Structures are given as structure tokens and as C-alpha cells.
Amino acid sequence: SMSNEGKLATLIEVEVGQIDRGASLQFLSQYPGEEEVLLPPLSNLEVVGKPRMEYSGEGTTIVIPCRISCNLKTLTMDELVARRKQQMVAMQRNLMQETR
């Protein structure tokens, strides 16, 4: 809705699929009338259409259509740390061999 400062409310309309669907947190919400969702790790919102204006008795809202884009190929932090550790161990071996 339009506030006293003349700002518009923004609503992000999210389209989800079976793979990138988040976990419902509605039972924890401070606002029981709203559906809150925890997005999967390594995901982001991708705008999929032009924003549109919706008008109601309460004011004007900008609606931005989006979808969740989940990157299933990116390594997790644990995998990155393990890979870095392997690289450091290999580098240490090479340095030891070179200094003999």
C-alpha cells in the first residue's frame, strides 16, 4: 500500500517446482496469515516477467513475478573445505620433495 512517504508496497510472487520448493515455516511465523518458506541452499530468485501494478482499496502494490533457481551443481562449504585441504596436503608433499 501507499505509505505516508509515497512509497509503494512490493510483493514478490514466487513460482516453485518440485526440486526447488522450500520448507514451510508457517508454523513459526509471527504472521499466521502469511506463508513463509525457507529457500533451499545455493538458490536465488530469478525475475521471470515484467513487474505489474495491482490496485486495491488499500493502495497500490508492485508485483514482481519470480521463480526459485536452485544451483544443484555448486559444491557445499564442507566440500569446498575438503577440496582445499586436499590441495594444501598435495602442495606440502610437493614442497617436501623439492627441498630434499
User: Where do runs of H (alpha helix) occur along 1-76?
Assistant: none
| Apex 63 CA angle, 62 and 69, nearest 5 | 135
Model pLDDT for residues 12-54, shown as the tens digit of each residue? 888 877 766 778 888 888 887 887 888 877 788 899 999 999 9
**Cell for 42?**
545455493
Residue-level pLDDT at 31: 82
User: Where do runs of H (alpha helix) occur along the chain?
Assistant: 77-98
**Cell for 30?**
509471527
Model pLDDT for residues 61-100, shown as the tens digit of each residue? 999 999 888 777 888 889 889 999 999 999 999 999 998 8
Q: Which of 27, 48, 49, 52 is nearest to 38 (CA)?
A: 27
Q: Helix %, strand %, coil % for the chain, to 5?
A: 25, 35, 40
**Does the structure show a pLDDT above 60 at 2?**
no
